[in-house]
């Protein structure tokens, strides 16, 4: 297994909804390992399978990689979905697949997410703050949605990153 290139916008895979995946699928372990290796080699805190060209519903989130954040540690979920969301707010967000820009998007401060662990067990998590934002961002990737699609006004809410 190894880290994979992260696809960059406007790659068509980033705009394609991902398919559900079964924990018994023999490719799941390899995809998850590639995602973990890719995340480890990146400056990010989360990754969705479509970002490495795999159009399946798998995400990895580990906000503890960001200084000052704790969260639930490393979470790998298959077929995740949001059950509840509360506390809407506008947040500045970026993406490994859109490295040159950030933008103001509507996200929720608190969410409840459920999915399946790679071993087949169900998991439900209540998350808040930065971790909740990361989950929302990655679930968008599974739908073929980028943060760019959530920006209200490209002229006032999209910003070039300073390098």
pLDDT in tens, 101-147: 999 999 999 999 999 999 999 999 999 999 999 999 999 999 999 99
The band of 65, judged by pLDDT with boundaries at 50, 70 and 90, is confident
Structure tokens at 108: 């929720």
pLDDT over 90 (residue 70): no
Q: Which residues are catalytic?
A: 138
pLDDT tens column, 5-34: 999 999 999 999 999 999 999 999 999 999
> What's the CATH number of domain 12-160, 3.90.45.10, 3.30.565.10, 3.40.1390.30, 3.40.47.10?
3.90.45.10
pLDDT over 70 (residue 1): no
Mean pLDDT of 76-102: 98
Strand runs labelled E in 4-118: 46-48, 58-61, 75-95, 98-116
Mean pLDDT of 90-101: 97
Asked whether the beta carbons of 62 and 135 are under 8 A apart, the reply is: no
Asked whether the beta carbons of 95 and 7 are under 8 A apart, the reply is: no
């Amino acid at each position: 297994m190894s880290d994979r290139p992260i696809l960059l916008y406007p790659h068509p895979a980033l705009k394609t909804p991902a398919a559900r995946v079964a924990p018994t699928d023999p490719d799941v372990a390899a995809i998850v390992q590639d995602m973990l290796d890719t995340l480890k080699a990146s400056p990010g805190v989360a990754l969705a399978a479509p970002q490495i060209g795999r159009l399946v519903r798998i995400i990895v989130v580990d906000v503890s990689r960001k200084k000052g954040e704790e969260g639930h540690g490393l979470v790998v979920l298959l077929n995740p979905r949001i059950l509840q969301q509360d506390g809407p707010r506008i947040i500045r967000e970026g993406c490994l697949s859109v490295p040159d820009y950030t933008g103001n998007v509507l996200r929720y401060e608190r969410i409840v997410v459920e999915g399946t662990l790679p071993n087949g067990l169900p998991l439900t998590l209540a998350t808040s703050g930065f971790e909740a934002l990361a989950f929302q961002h990655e679930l968008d990737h599974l739908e073929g949605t980028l943060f760019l699609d959530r920006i209200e006004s490209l002229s006032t809410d999209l910003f070039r990153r300073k390098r």
